Amino acid sequence: MAMVDEPLYPIALLIDELKNDDIQLRLNSISRLSTIGRALGEERTRKELIPFLSENSDDDDEVLLAMAEELGFFIPFVGGIEHAHVIIPPLESLCTVEETSVREKVVDSLCKICSQMKESDHVDSFVPLVKRLAAGEWFAARVSACGLFHFAYQGCTDVLKTELRSSYSQLCQEDMPMVRRAAASNLGKFATTLESAFLNVEIMTMFNGLTKDDQDFVRLLAAEGCAALGKLLEPQDCVARILHVTVNFAQDKSWKVRYMVANQLYELSEVVGPDCTKTDLVPAYVRMLRDNEAEVRIAAAEKVTKFCQLLNPELAIQHILPCVKELSTDSSQHVRSALASVIMGMAPILGKTLSIVINILKSSIQDSTIEHLLPIFLSLLKDEFPDVRLNIISKLDQVNQFIGIDLLSQSLLPAIVELAEDRHWRVMLAVIEYVPMLASQLGIGFFDDKLVALCMQWMQDKVYSIRKAATNNLKRLAEEFGVGHGQQSALPTQDDSSTCKCAISRMAPVMGSEITCSKFLPVVVEAAKDRVPNIKFNVAKLLQTLHPIVDQSVVDKIIRQCLVDLSEDPDVDVRYFANQALRSIDSAAVAQS
């Protein structure tokens, strides 16, 4: 076989590999395009490699996807932005590929290239590309075009802008549903580049047409753009142009459209501002909170706290709270879980709103919060679905200041204590992480009476994550209470499991020398006599961490002697860690001398 000239070798190798039956070999070749381009040089890359790629766009989708991604970063290999336009042909051929992921990556790469092009190349190369794709015979080309208009429109002449707006309007009215979907999906991006004079007329005409489409997915994508379009308009124009469409969407026959509206309604309400209470947004939101489909209720429930922030007090109490009470006993556990993740945020909002209308309601902020929300909190804390309980526990700190210590201990605490023995370890873990904050608010006496036993019980749990969290808890509680009576009752004892050694290592720096010597060291020294090697070498490591905390006399009389005994242990690992601890003690003594 004749030898291939060395300057031609990279392109010849690429051709051979791209024609290979092995897809992995073809994929590897495409992923090395930048290396091949660098080897060929800028001129040969433009004249040989790019034309070759343009002619070889018929391959496996995985290979084409890799090619589309590589070409998005190819400007340096064709000679810089002066020649960026030469990369367009191979990408244009990929715009007609049927696979959606390939087209999306092609559009992404074309946008990257367009953002770096010279203005003249933008007008001479990129805009004509978009116009060709928009008029393409194959639907895939027209779908790809929809994602490029927002880049093409910028920097064009007025004549070209008029053509592009007209072309996009035609895509919004396409016979093919896939094209209308793409047009609806990208309408918001295109609208951001248009002059304000065209928003209320041309863009809204396109939008109105898409909202009445007979295809659910087209209406869904139009609904998704409501908030984005609303932000481009003045509030009064948003109310006039967008709001009635959103309210109609809230009653759409497709639950997917209603679900999208539930996700968008809060953002749209923000755009409308305080006037949202004067519109039909509140009735629309209430309908979605009571929707027949659980997915819609979930999306609406997740926004309930944010939505209430925008309402005046009367509306929040009169219309939203009854729905919240219904959702707390919803038949869907996922709805209850969604509500539990945000409901605690209602306490400060309700407190704030009720303070404004205190004369109307004739009740205090605290009493009103308890009256409206405490029954819901308690119901969710006792829910049979663990994620509901978990979500409500994780936000308990948001409600304490409004419920007050007395009612917290009388109403919420029994439910929390019950959850401390929950059969689902994630719920138990959430309770453990909440206890230090609870203890700090309830005080040493209450902690000593109600929570000490739980803390020590968690130290013995079968789940490692629970035991680890319990040891961290003891440190946090030690920092909170210091060496007072309440904390000393929670100190590890000789009867505790080996997990206590971890607790001792965490608590000793907080508790100081006196507690370490009187409470911790006896436990550690006793454990050094255990028959299990793992326990003994962990004792050696623990003693190494304790010696800087206690007085030198204690180190010499107790710690050093214990380590010397362990250094003569039959087990090699015990001897190793014991000797390591002794060297650490000796080094510390030398440093102090």
Q: What is the pLDDT of residues 1-15, one digit of tens each?
A: 344 444 556 666 766
All residues at 6 or more sequence positions from 125 whose CB lies less than 8 Å from its CB, including other chains: 85, 88, 117
Q: How far apart are CA 284 and CA 315, in angstroms?
A: 13
Task: Classify domain 508-593 at the CATH superfamily level.
Answer: Leucine-rich Repeat Variant (1.25.10.10)
CB neighbourhood size of 3 (10 A): 6
Pair 78, 50: CB distance under 8 Å: yes
Q: Whats the size of the chain, residue-wise?
A: 593
Angle at 339 between CA 337 and CA 345, to 5 degrees: 125
Pair 569, 562: CB distance under 8 Å: no
211-235 pLDDT tens trace: 999 999 999 999 888 888 888 888 7
| Token couple for 231 | 């932000």
What pLDDT does residue 354 have?
43
What pLDDT does residue 362 have?
35
In a 13 Å sphere around the CA of 414, the CA atoms on its Cβ side amount to 6
What pLDDT does residue 363 have?
40
Q: How far apart are CA 547 and CA 326, in angstroms?
A: 59
79-130 pLDDT tens trace: 899 999 999 999 999 898 888 999 999 999 999 998 888 888 888 899 999 9
> Which residues of the chain have a pLDDT value below 50?
1-6, 352-368, 485-487, 489-490, 493-497
Q: Quick check: helix, strand or coil at residue 395? A: coil
52-90 pLDDT tens trace: 888 877 768 888 898 899 898 989 988 899 999 999 999
| Token couple for 377 | 């909190």
Please give the backbone phi and psi of residue 424, each rounded to the nearest 5 degrees, phi first.
-95, 120
All residues at 6 or more sequence positions from 583 whose CB lies less than 8 Å from its CB, including other chains: none
**Domain ranges in the chain?**
303-418, 420-490, 508-593
In a 13 Å sphere around the CA of 179, the CA atoms on its Cβ side amount to 22
CA-to-CA dists, residue 264 to 62, 277, 296, 323, angstroms: 35, 16, 12, 19
Q: Is the dihedral of CA 103, 109, 112, 118 positive or negative?
A: negative
Instruction: Look up the pTM and report it.
Output: 0.67
What pLDDT does residue 300 have?
93
What pLDDT does residue 276 have?
62
Query: What is the Rg, in whole angstroms, of the alpha carbon atoms belonging to the chain?
Result: 34
